[in-house]
Structure formats: C-alpha cells, structure tokens
C-alpha cells in the first residue's frame, strides 16, 4: 500500500527514532524513493497486495500508535496497511532484510502477475491485431447462402417430420423429453453435491473414449465434469430426436443425420474458451500470451484466405516444394496451357520398355506421390525400373472458367502423345488417382469407341465411376448446395479452392476444423510441420465449367454408369472400358468409399480386372510404402459376379503394403527391360512451374 511522503527529512529521522524507541524495526526509504512514490494507491500496489499469500492478506493491519514526542510541524500521517509484499530499500550500512514471503521464496516471487509494461504491450498487440482482423474480414466477398448451409427444403422436411411424429406418437415424444430432463437434473444434483462437499468422485463413464475430454479436469472437477456430462446428455437427446423422425426417403435421412452431427460437434464445450480447461490452463501458465498468439494465428488465417476463417492445418514455412518436399529428380519435357509433363530420371541401368504415365487429381498437387524420399511412390516406381512420367496440372484462374471436361480429356490424349513420342513407343501404361481416375475411365471408353489401342493397361487409385450411392457427399450433392456452387461459378468463374477445402474439411469436422482451431486459436500453438497436412492445404481452384459438368452430369445424374456421358461427340459408358485394369481402394476412405469404387469397376467391360483393398484412408492408404509396414491389404479371386461384401468375405489379408503386389501386376504388363532413358535437360528441372502456383 502506498503512503503519503514525509514533508521533510526531519520527519524521517523522527520516524526512525520512534522505531528505535518501540524496539520494532521500521523499513526506511531513500529520499528519491519517497519523491517517486505516489500519494494514491497504484494498480501495481493493488496487484502486489493480491499476490500475497492468503495468510498474509488476512492478517489485520497494526493500529497506529501515538507518537511519544509529537511534532507540531509534521503533517498528519495516513493510516496504512503494512507493505509485506513490497521490498524496501535497506538503511545505509545495514544488511538487506526480507520484504515479505515472496522475497524469502524466489519461486513464489516468479509466480507474481506480469508487470504493467508486459500487460500494456499485450493490450497494444491485441488492439493492432483487432484492427487487422476487422480489415481482413471486410475483404470477404458477399456471402452466398447456397453454400453456407442447407436450403429451406431441408428445414421444411425436418419440421414436417417432427409434427408428424408428435401427432402420431405423442407418448414417445413425451417419454424422450422426460428422460432428457431427468438426466439433466441428475447431472446438476451430482455437481451441486460435489461442490458442497468439495470432493468429486467421478461416476462411471460408459461412453466411448473421446480424445477431446482427455484432460483429467473433465473427470475430477465438479464444474468441468458437469459441463461434459450435460453436453453428452444434450448430444444423445439430439441424436435420439433425429433418429425418431419419420423422413420421406434415404436422402432426407442422410441430410438430417449429417446436419445433426454438425450441430453436436460444433457445440462441444472444448470449442469455447470458458469451458476448455486446456486453454484456460495454458492462458494462466503463459500469463495470457497463448491467447495473444492465438489471435495472431486467427488474423493470419483470415488474411491469407481472403476474409474466410479457414484454419491452417500445417506450418507453411516448414516446407518448400522442390527443396524439402517433392524432390525426386526429373525434367519437365512438355508444357501446355493446362498441364506439364515431367519425366523422372532413371535410378536403374535398365527399364521396362513400356512407359508409365500417372495422372494425379487436379483438385490438389501431384507431389502427394513424392512427399519425401521415404514415402515417395514416384521414387519407388523409378527404382522398380519404370520410365515414369507424371502430369502436373495448372492451377486455374478466372481466365480458364470455360475449360470443361472435354478439355481435360483432350489433355489426357495430348499427354499420352507426348510420352509415346518421347519414348518412341506405340503403347503405354497409365494410372489415374481420384477424379483423375474418373476422367481416365472416360478417356479409356473414348479410345475404345475410336478403336485406339494406345493404352496397354490402366490402374485406378480410389476412383469413383458409379455415383448411385453418394455416401457422405449426399448433403453436398443436392440441388440446393449444387445450385449455390453454380452461383459461385457464375460470380467468380471458378469453384474456388477455399470453398472446396472447407467442404471437404467438414466431412471430418472434429479432426480438420474444430481440433486444429482449438490448438491454433485457443492454445496459441504453431501449426505442425507435417508434410501430408501441408499438401492438403495446397489445394487448387477448379474451372467453373468443368466443375458443373462433373457435379451435374457425373455425380447427380450418374450418367457414365447409366445413360452415358457425352464427351467430344461420343456417349460413353462404363462397359466401354475394356483394357486390363487394376483398382486400388481404401478400407476407411470417406471420400471414395471402397464399395462404391468396387461397384463401378464391376460394371466395366474389361475381362482382366484386379481389385486391391488397402487399409486406412483416401491418402494414407495410398501413400503406404513397404518400408513402413503399417497398413496391409486384401486380395480376392472371388470375381465381380456378386456383390462387394461377397468379394470382401472371400478376400485374403496380407499384412504388408499393396505396392509390391501392384508392382508385380504392373511389371507383367510393362514389357521387357531395355536401356534406361535419360530425360535430358528438357524445359526445366522437376517439379516444374505449375506446381508453385497457389490458389488466390
């Protein structure tokens, strides 16, 4: 507590004499300290007082004693509490005395609140970041309701189903409500008892393990345990209410279930600062620095995504394509407005006579197949003695808005021509990954109708060609959302990368939206230096015309598997694909479910078909090198005459990577060994120019 300064040095001397008379030590201050000390209680003094141990704060202040020798010239002194926590200057010639408990305990002193200067710096940083955030949000383009959420038809369908259930099964609705409120009251009663007794014995938790609630406070703290239990109660009630609705069809059921799951995930207590113990603990430990860093991360993400709040999944400063990622040696041997062709340098003296050409998806960059040397499929194929070519797609801008599916089909044919000319061969083997595999299937059907036999074999990675079951994309492939995308295309000429990334992320919201947002914005952590997540964030735009042809014609109408999909004057069907085929699907793939990949391949006209089912998901199941020994695969001789489950039941499991299995299949169709081909200088070294273009 600050005190009034003495008017003269005489008062100081009398004060010291008084201390000597009473036999009690009195802390003295220099004249400079007296002059600097304010006459009012400062915020620092208040903070220091609050920082005292509880026992010290509760000790009553000593009553002022009358002076034994009054001084008529002295100003009246103000009664004050002893300054136990504030160090005082020692008298000349005397040893320093402890100023209080904190002085005797350096560890306790280090726990004191941050100084005012640090607080002022943080406030200034927050103010600056706030202005930047508002400026960045102002750059966001006008919102498009068609892609922000489901259309009115879904809400109307859900409301009608609710009223129908209420009128036909009122007892069931009442029973659900009674059960919900009963559980809620039980949660609050348990928490009240724990708070009253100061002791919580966590009740048994029979739910599935959830990494969001790993902090022990969710179990042993009354407040957080109540929040968790009530959230789980609410989630269960929402799920039961959704399940009880009598909806008109399976599409409505999937959409309502998806929307319910999004609401449940969004309202998790871990998504809010006041109910996230990890974030609160980190804020206390760092004296608020974690929250300031979190705001910096938020501003960075909003600025880098044109006003959209899309959380960064990886540290973009950790990788540079061509330097520490995508480094397989090769040469760009051809460049067109839509793509580049890269030929990779051989690593063996001999190579198979037939070249191999890979078409990666143009939704992302090709270096998913060359993240680092240890898991590079590109390097592995070169080591197996293949003359390997890979297409690198251009990242479209608004000038390419009229580029359609037929332009991509012609690009496939052009790339094949260049590879055949480069190697002097008349035939080649091909690979298509994801949407590039769908387009490769269209090209194979077109070549069949034209009588062109340039493709010796084709391999499809996680490729959908029959969209009769839209799976987890059902909510995004209805007219309201596709109509919203159409409006986006009309406005921008593109299906922008940000919208694509956001849509794909919400298929796994806890892992790709809420979890990263918590770590980045609440905990103030730098995104991880993870190559796979770095690639995932390096997405591309899609030309508007091509995007709508794909969504309307292939996905919604399922034309390729039914009436036929028209390209370059030909109506193409799955049955037109007759070259030897190998398809690789992934057991846990939520983008291209393996049963749907299997169903499309079963309808193709080829008599030589091999299906490989890898463990794991859309990317990890493909990028699965033999050295890792992490995911196995399934093979079956059951054929395609029956359904996918019969094939799976008859399959044999192999604990190793599928790469060697496919490698043996490919080698049988790649021809004899010849001298390896050197790509020469070409246009420029790999990874080329187009891979560095980022979506604006």
Structural tokens at position 281: 């603990």
The set of residues, in sequence order, having a beta carbon less than 8 Å from that of 406 and lying 6+ positions away, is 567, 568
CA gap 301, 55 in Å, rounded? 47
Element (H, E) at 405: helix 405-423
Which of left, alpha, beta for 457 (phi over 0: left; psi -120 to 50: alpha)?
beta
109 is written with which tokens?
């002193």
Round the CA-based radius of gyration of the chain to a whole number and report it. Answer: 35
Strands 570-572 and 581-586 turn out to be unpaired
Return d(Cα 691, Cα 366) in angstroms, integer: 8
Alpha carbon distances (Å) from 491 to 478, 544, 610, 693: 20, 10, 44, 22
Q: Is 196 exposed, middle or buried (0-12, 13-18, 19+ CB in 10 A)?
A: exposed
CA angle (88 as vertex; 84, 91 as ends), nearest 5: 130
Where would I find the H helices in 248-367?
Answer: 250-266, 277-285, 289-304
CA–CA gap between residue 584 and residue 607 (Å, rounded): 17
DSSP 564: -
Question: Using DSSP, how many helices (H) and how many strands (E) does the chain show?
Answer: 27, 17
Residue 423 parent element (H or E)? helix 405-423
**Sequence-ordered list of residues with C-beta below 8 angstroms from that of 228, at least 6 positions apart, any chain:** 213, 218, 269
Catalytic member of 434, 555, 586, 597: 434
Contact 148, 502 (CB under 8 A): no
597 is catalytic: no
Query: Which residues are catalytically annotated?
Result: 434
């Amino acid at each position: 507590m600050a005190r009034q300064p003495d008017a003269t040095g005489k008062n100081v001397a009398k004060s010291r004499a008084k201390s000597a008379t009473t036999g009690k030590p009195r802390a003295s201050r220099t004249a400079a300290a007296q002059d600097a000390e304010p006459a009012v209680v400062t915020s620092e003094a208040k903070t220091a007082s609050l920082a005292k141990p509880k026992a010290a704060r509760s000790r009553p202040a000593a009553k002022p004693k009358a002076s034994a020798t009054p001084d008529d010239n002295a100003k009246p002194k103000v009664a004050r509490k002893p300054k136990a926590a504030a160090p005082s200057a020692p008298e000349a010639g005397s040893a320093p005395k402890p100023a209080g408990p904190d002085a005797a305990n350096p560890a306790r002193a280090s726990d004191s609140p941050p100084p005012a200067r640090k607080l002022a710096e943080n406030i200034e940083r927050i103010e600056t970041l706030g202005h930047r955030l508002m400026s960045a949000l102002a750059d966001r383009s006008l919102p498009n309701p068609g892609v922000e959420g489901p259309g009115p038809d879904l809400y109307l369908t859900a409301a009608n189903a609710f009223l129908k259930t209420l009128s036909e099964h009122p007892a069931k609705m009442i029973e659900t409500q009674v059960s919900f409120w009963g559980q809620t009251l039980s949660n609050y009663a348990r928490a009240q008892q724990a708070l009253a007794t100061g002791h919580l014995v966590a009740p048994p938790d029979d739910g599935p393990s959830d990494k969001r609630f790993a902090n022990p406070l969710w179990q042993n703290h009354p407040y957080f345990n109540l929040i968790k239990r009530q959230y789980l109660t609410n989630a269960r009630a929402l799920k039961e209410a959704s399940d009880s609705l009598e909806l008109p069809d399976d599409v409505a059921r999937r959409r309502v279930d998806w929307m319910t799951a999004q609401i449940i995930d969004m309202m998790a207590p871990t998504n809010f600062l006041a109910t996230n113990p990890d974030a609160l603990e980190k804020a206390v430990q760092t004296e608020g620095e974690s929250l300031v860093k979190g705001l910096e991360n938020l501003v960075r993400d909003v600025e880098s995504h044109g006003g959209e709040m899309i959380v960064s999944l990886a540290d973009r400063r950790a990788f540079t394509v061509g330097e520490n990622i995508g480094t397989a040696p090769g040469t760009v041997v051809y460049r067109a407005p839509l793509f580049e062709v890269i030929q990779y340098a051989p690593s063996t003296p001999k190579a198979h006579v037939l070249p191999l050409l890979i078409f990666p998806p143009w939704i992302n960059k090709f270096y998913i197949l060359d993240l680092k040397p240890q898991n590079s499929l590109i390097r592995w194929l070169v080591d197996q003695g293949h003359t390997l070519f890979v297409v690198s797609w251009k990242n479209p801008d608004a000038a390419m808005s009229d580029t359609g599916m037929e332009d991509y089909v012609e690009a496939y044919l052009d790339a094949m021509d260049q590879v055949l000319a480069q190697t002097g061969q008349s035939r080649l083997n091909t690979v298509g990954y994801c949407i590039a595999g769908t387009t490769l299937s269209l090209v194979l059907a077109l070549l069949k109708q034209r009588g062109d036999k340039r493709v010796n074999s084709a391999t499809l990675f996680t490729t959908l060609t029959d969209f009769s079951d839209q799976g987890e994309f059902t909510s995004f492939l209805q007219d309201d959302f596709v109509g919203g995308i159409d409006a986006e295309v009309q406005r921008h000429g593109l299906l922008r990368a940000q919208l694509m990334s956001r849509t794909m992320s919400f298929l796994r919201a806890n892992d790709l939206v809420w979890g990263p947002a918590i770590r980045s914005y609440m905990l103030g952590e730098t995104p991880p230096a993870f190559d796979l997540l770095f690639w995932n964030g390096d997405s591309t735009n899609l030309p508007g015309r091509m995007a709508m042809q794909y969504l309307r014609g292939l996905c919604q109408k399922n034309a390729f598997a039914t009436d036929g999909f028209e390209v370059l004057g030909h109506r193409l069907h799955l049955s037109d694909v007759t070259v030897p085929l190998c398809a690789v699907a992934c057991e846990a793939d939520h983008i291209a479910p393996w049963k749907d990949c299997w169903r499309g391949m079963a309808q193709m006209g080829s008599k030589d078909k091999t299906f490989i089912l890898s463990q794991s998901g859309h990317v990890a199941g493909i990028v699965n090198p033999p050295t890792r020994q992490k995911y196995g695969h399934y093979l079956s001789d059951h054929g395609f005459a029956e359904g996918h489950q019969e094939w799976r039941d008859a399959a044999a499991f192999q604990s190793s990577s599928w790469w060697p299995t496919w490698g043996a299949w490919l080698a049988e169709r790649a021809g004899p060994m010849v001298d390896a081909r050197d790509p020469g200088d070409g246009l420029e070294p790999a990874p080329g120019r187009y891979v560095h273009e980022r979506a604006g």
